[in-house]
Structure 1
Amino acid sequence: MTRSRSLGKVRPPRSARHPYRGRSTGLEHCSTEASTTVPQPTGGVLRLADYLEQHGRSTRRGQCPPATFWHAAHTHLTHPDDLNNLTQAALDRHRLQCGHHLLQRASDLGDTDALYRLAVMRERAGDRDGAEAFYRQAADHGHTYALYHLAVMREEAGDREGAEDLARQAADHGDTHALVHLAEMREHAGDRDGAEDLARQAADLGHTDALVRLAVMREVAGDRDGAEGLHQQAANYGEARRVIAELWPYGLDPDGTPTSPLQPSLSVEGR
């Protein structure tokens, strides 16, 4: 890789590379014993490699490597972490094709994060078929975010059964966000029963906030009774948020009905 990268460097003139060729530098007159009298540094020692790295960072920060560098990296690097780091460096510098090729190389080496990132790039570019293919490959390797995106894409395409199946697969891998997002999508589409069902599935798997978020959506839509019903379900799951405390300041009875205000107790003397 170093040999390939060097092809992109600008070589200085011969006279600049060897400014002292043919001249006497005076070093030949120095005694070899002088080296034993050089004082040793008393403070910290700066290694040459550290100096070169610091100098390179300050003087070449605004210079992007040439095409030969990216080609050599794509050809010779075999570790996905190295490829992903260089991918990010390329994207930060808006070298989009370089980043895409490096990601493709990492995915060919079996990196699931690279497959996921390729899918995101394809989706942002409007290539839904290509994005879904990469999401599917990443999902087949257990990438839960890929399952989440696939579920959303299936829902948007009208395949509700397929979307729910993918969301449950993601939940089985510990990510219930797909169920919550599908619940919100169905609420927006007017399918309240379907939305509640998905929110309860998410709550059963530990994402009790799903019911609260659905309740807030209904309250914003003006359905106060529907919002209270969902808040009450959330309270049954142990999700006693501030908004629930505002709805029922005295709490809820064991059967779920609002508790009446506390009555002052009568004294023993009957006052």
Structure 2
Amino acid sequence: MSGDDEGRPVTKRRRLIARPQVPPGPLRDLKALIYELYVEAGAPSLEEMAALVAADDGLAGAPEKDTIHRIIRDTAVPPSQADVVAVVTVLARATTTWDGHDVAQRARDLWVAARLGSAVGVPLGEVTDPFVLEVHRPIASERAGTLPPLPPYVPRPHDRQLAGVVERAAGGASMMAVLVAGSSAGKTRACWQALEPLREAGGWRLRHPFDPARPEAALRDLDRVGPRTVVWLNETQDYLGGGEAGERVAAGLRTLLAAPSRGPVLVLGTLWPAHHAELTRRPESQVRQVLDGTIIEVPETFTGADPAALQHAAGADARLAEAIEHAEDGQITQYLAGGPELLARLTAAEPAAKAVIWAAMDARRMGHHNALPLSLLEEAVPAYLTATQYDQLGQDWLERALAYTAQPCKGASGPVTRIRTQRPHHGRRRRAPHASAHDGGPVYQLADYLDQHGRATRAGHIPPTGFWEAAAVHAHPADQGALGDAAWERGLYRDATQLHKNATTHGDPRAARSLVDHLHRLHPTDQRPSAHAAAHATLNNPGGVALLLGALRQAGADDQVTALLARDPAAQVALDNPSGVANLLGRLRQVGAGDQVTALADRLLAVGMLDQFLQIGDHRERYRFGREPEGHPADRWGWEDLLDLE
């Protein structure tokens, strides 16, 4: 501390109510209006504001001190529009620049917009179709007549664990549970059944983000999820995987679960064991931290159930009775989901149909999302056929193969089926997730059970050259980076580099890093890959930009570093991943980009990320006593300045 600081007199001032930190949107605009009025009115005390409201019989609202405090400070939409109007009206009268009537109307409009925009998801009571939430369709049975959509549910020990989580959420705690087991073990069905107490309680909503792609859908409105909302993250790896995007989703989930004003919320997810192991291999990652303590293991076999309850349920449903009779090793839920029939369909398939399934299996295990462009499958299939098999194909071979793979397996989905657009009962047509490829063509999905089967039985198979050539032309741009990584790991350097170049062209900064790094090893003096990466990588991902800067610096591509910095990444990167921002700050310092460090620091301070801001320059000493809501360093304060509220 400097001598000047020591000699400065301790000034007492009225302590301001803290400014709420609210995501962009009408609610933030409303809160900003209220807080600006509060400051310009001289920050009157709660007692003073309550007295002003009580003295005006013409106001429709009559909030008291606690309500006024919540209107100013809380991050939620105030329940009463009239109370909000009352507060802004008396505050406007205490200023010289605001018109009371105008500000009251503005507050009414913003309150309505915030109220309409605050409800994320749909009422849980309206979610009556389990298949919309991706519960597996059960097999059909020749023994039965009309049956309900799902067989009777027989609880097992993991259901009791999950019920405890739901009970705590119903009691007011924000909770998260992720069920882990192999394909078709009953994970999603267990989550569906666990919602019943919340349906009965009423007042809960459900948000299932999937369109246009799962990470983007989750990030789009995660900061708007409010109390009494179920966030449905079936196939959780599709939300938390994929590097930086998954880290951002995980960070958003952690923020949601930790915010008392936004709870209670319930986050439900499902994972295969292999996906869980992959997602949690980095101890410091946001993904691992959000999953910590949430895992509920689901047995692969039907163990732990009450035998009498199981037999009673089988007596009422022929599908369950058939599964009990024929399932091997107690894998009743897998049988119900059509697992054995899917394997039988694969075994009996003609060469072209079998090649379609193998190509789909390889695309999935190499990293493509389960929305496979038809053009990718069509171009890849010949590589899985012998010369004789290919010569014997008819003109309609693709139509016949897809017709075979689309046939339901005892009522469950076929091996490879088209993802079609969905038409709701009322209103205009909307699109299913990934209902068309990036080139506008149709897309297909591989049955979950065969996906897992392919990962186990084809683990030692390297896809043929024709697969990689088809992937480079027809795979979705967002998946080409992962496919390139898979090719490089298998020594297919040329195919990997082509895929990384394609992904870089579409803006993937991690693929750009790989492109620069790999080609620098092979051709140290060729700077064309670095120039391509610096020109095309998107700049919204701070961790990805940091990795790319590091690769360019390592490759000695100084001109390309300058070109990338000229695109002003500090002004464009998202700030919702603190670790990524910290990495970028460190990398900017390494390359001597002081102006970019300063610009990024200003953004950090503006949004309240003080911990990251304090790591820069001399800010730690300047902001030793914190900051004021307006952004400047707080004055020196001590124990004597704290209020005694006892």
TM-score by length of 1: 0.49
Which structure has the larger Rg? 1
Q: Which has the higher contact order (CA 8 A, sep 6+)?
A: 2
- Whose strand proportion is higher, 1 or 2? 2
